[in-house]
Amino acid sequence: LSVFFLISLIVILLRRQYPDLPRPFRIPFGNVIPIAAMLICALLLANITFSAWEFYLGWLVVGFALYELYSKNHIIERTDT
């Protein structure tokens, strides 16, 4: 739900910041649908139990930690000459 909320927000931001960007398809009510999706996601997230939030935050921390460990070992130093 949190990812879908962020995707809906990004759709709105991209439409406002880059209105001339080529879009491969169009939907009716282009601004209404992402806003409705955000509201529905927020409503569903507000009704999740506390234990579900604990699991979500725990896995989020684990995911960020794994990402950091992986990226530190696989980073390529970039030198602009």
Q: What is the tens place of the pLDDT at every residue in 12-25?
A: 999 899 989 888 88
Q: Answer with the residue of higher pLDDT: 3 or 27.
A: 3
Give yes or no for a contact between 44 and 3, defined as CB atoms under 8 angstroms apart: no
Q: What is the tens place of the pLDDT at every residue in 30-79?
A: 889 999 999 999 999 999 999 999 999 999 999 999 999 888 777 766 55
| Stated pTM of the model | 0.71
What are the distances in angstroms from CA 4 to CA 44, 58, 77?
A: 12, 19, 33
Q: Where are the domains of the chain?
A: 2-74
* Residue 66 in tokens: 């794994």
- Check residue 71 and give its pLDDT: 84
DSSP string computed for the chain? -HHHHHHHHHHHHHHHH-TTS--S---TTTTHHHHHHHHHHHHHHHTS-HHHHHHHHHHHHHHHHHHHHHHHHH-------
